[in-house]
Copies of this chain bind each other. A is one copy, B any other.
Amino acid sequence: MAGSELTNIKSPRVKAVRRLTKRAFRDRDRSFIAEGPQAVREALALDGVVTQLFATAEAEVRHADIVAAAAAAGVPSQRASGEVMAELAQTVTPQGLLAVCRFVHVPLDDAVTADARLVAVLAHVRDPGNAGTVLRTADAAGADAVVFTDASVDPYNGKCVRASAGSLFHLPVVTGTPVARAVGRLKERGLRVLAADGAGEHTLDDVDLSGPTAWIFGNEAWGLPEEILELADDVVRVPIYGGAESLNLATAAAVCLYASARSQRAGSRSSVPRLP
């Protein structure tokens, strides 16, 4: 650990990181903040993503492996006082560890390849916690990519990064793409595009999910606009068997993505192997 402890919350270095809590500055610096040992560990697993590590003296001891991994990767580490960490972190109980990371998103054409079998598209998702949870669930369900359209929340929003629990670093993420462009590309690549919407004509149990599929998830309050429903190959709803009016967005996405993962795996187990 080179240098002394950073204690002045008004220092230019602290301000330069702190401003990354705002989207405009993230976009300018093409950088964002990952907080906590899990996210920092996952970020360090990718080459050239972490540009600075900040740790309290206590966190340096508790997470010596992470500090060592940063050193091995040539990432500059800075010890920070608890007060500075509280200023930099957006969580109420920061765990004393925080990394400044370069943007990790990739172009749409790199994310949606000819092999893609499961893709999640977030259209008009505004709550960063929901968006991060869907990203985490898509990763768990084995999705090949997650596309944040230009009308959705910024994937680098602190709440989204935290809710993704490291998944932002696990699979190709696309951001800022118009939904029509994303749908066009997905169809070109042979994926069936399904819009998840409570107004869907078919339920999840009625559609064949064994082939390559992209799911479009909409706004928390009002779902998907007509023009997006029309772009999709089909509009599908999660069946409601009880008295609830609807499902929470992240919950509905989980049910859809896991239904796809299950069908695709069941299909691939029983089908004849493809020849190269």
Contacts A247-B254, A248-B137, A248-B250 given; does A242 touch B142 at CB 8 Å = yes
Contact B247 A261 (CB under 8 A): no
Contact A241 B205 (CB under 8 A): no
Number of copies: 2
Stretch at the interface among A82-90, A108-116, A150-158, A165-173: A165-173
Q: Is A105 an interface residue (CB 8 A)?
A: no
* Interface residue from B137, B143, B240, B244 paired with A251 (Cβ < 8 Å): B137
Which chain B residue has the least Cβ–Cβ distance from A143? Answer: B242
List A217-274 residues whose CB lies under 8 Å from chain B: 238-248, 250-251, 254-255, 258-259, 261-262, 265-266
Residues in chain A within 8 A of chain B (CB atoms): 38, 133, 136-143, 163, 165-167, 170-171, 205, 238-248, 250-251, 254-255, 258-259, 261-262, 265-266
Taking A143-B242, A254-B254 as given, write out 16 further A-B residue pairs in contact, using a Cβ cutoff of 8 Å, ordered by the A residue number: A133-B251, A136-B248, A137-B248, A139-B243, A140-B238, A140-B242, A141-B242, A163-B248, A165-B248, A166-B243, A166-B244, A170-B243, A170-B244, A250-B251, A255-B255, A255-B258
Please list 7 pairs of residues, one from A and one from B, whose beta carbons are closer than 8 Å in the complex, sorted by A's number.
A136-B248, A139-B242, A140-B238, A143-B242, A205-B265, A254-B254, A258-B259
